[in-house]
Structure 1
Amino acid sequence: MKKIFYLSIAGVAFALGTIGVFVPFIPTTGFYVLTSFCLLRSSEKRYNQFVQSKYYQSYVVDLFIRKNISTRGLIRMFLLMGVVFALPIVIVSSIFLKGFLFAIYLAHVIGLTWYLKFHPKKKTLTKGVFSEER
């Protein structure tokens, strides 16, 4: 019953997300994220396959759980974020809005640097023993 429920929600969300590609006011990304969430919840096999994939391990587990990122990777991430923030800063004519966007970018740089480099690592239970993840 649970599997059918998640699969039906995933089907509807996928259809709405695909319609959202062509209709500007329907949020495509949100519906696609809901689709993947429901598909992963519908099958234990698919969930385990996803969690054990190399992309999940390198981009989610290493970065957000273990907080394992090199200084080069951190700089690369901030440069890409800078490009994304620079485009509207160049396009917008309001000096207030430009300053506000720059302040948001600066807050991201400070906050993510603190979280990924200086925030204490979480202790996790591994085979009955608490260990600090690195």
Structure 2
Amino acid sequence: MKKYAYLLFGTITFIFGTLGIFLPLLPTTVFYLLTGFFWCRSSPKLNAKLIKLPAYQAYVTPFLEKRMTPRSKRRMFAMMGLVFLVSAILVDHHLIRILLGIIYLSLVGGLSWYLKKRPTTNSAE
């Protein structure tokens, strides 16, 4: 039963990740990482196919192999900021807006600290 639940969740996150290639508000990398997590536990064959996909190679492999360009890091932070900004605009409570701001700043600070230690590539995208 657990295997089928992982397979279902992996399929759902794969669909969202693939939509994220075309829709800027959906984070492709996160959904593909979740897909790998779920499919690794349910179907090694599907996980192997996922890893070989060109989209996976383009979005996830550079993140996992620590090959992000400065431009891609800026783009990642900008997209995160856009998602948090849209969320803050749509929410009607000031406390939630403040909490979203704190979460965003924490993510930017934590990821900046983490990515600072990782090597970057200087090639232009």
Distance change in 2, residues 1:61/1:33 (3 Å): closer
1:13 maps to 8
1:93 and 1:72 map into 2 onto residues whose CA distance is 33
Greater Rg, structure 1 or structure 2? Answer: 1
Could you list the runs of 4 or more consecutive aligned residues of structure 1 that deviate by over 4 angstroms after TM superposition? Answer: none
1:49 and 1:33 map into 2 onto residues whose CA distance is 11
2:76 and 2:60 map into 1 onto residues whose CA distance is 14
1:119 maps to 117
Structure 2 unaligned runs (5+)?
13-30
Identify, as 1 or 2, the structure richer in strand: 1
Higher relative contact order (CA 8 A, sep 6+): 2
1:48 and 1:90 map into 2 onto residues whose CA distance is 40
1:96 and 1:39 map into 2 onto residues whose CA distance is 40
Counterparts of residues 1-134 of structure 1 (less than 5 Å)? 9=4, 13=8, 33=35, 37=39, 40-41=43-44, 43=45, 46-63=46-63, 65-116=64-115, 118-119=116-117
- Residue identity in the other structure for 1:114: W
* SS of aligned partner of 1:68: coil
Structure 1 unaligned runs (5+)?
18-28, 122-133
Contact 2:66/2:118 (8 A) holds in 1: no
- Residue identity in the other structure for 1:58: A
* SS of aligned partner of 1:99: helix
* SS of aligned partner of 1:67: coil
- TM-score, normalised with respect to structure 2: 0.56
Q: What number of residue pairs does the alignment pair up?
A: 95
> Cα offset for 1:100?
1.1
TM-align CA RMSD: 3.4
> Cα offset for 1:106?
0.7
2:35 and 2:49 map into 1 onto residues whose CA distance is 17
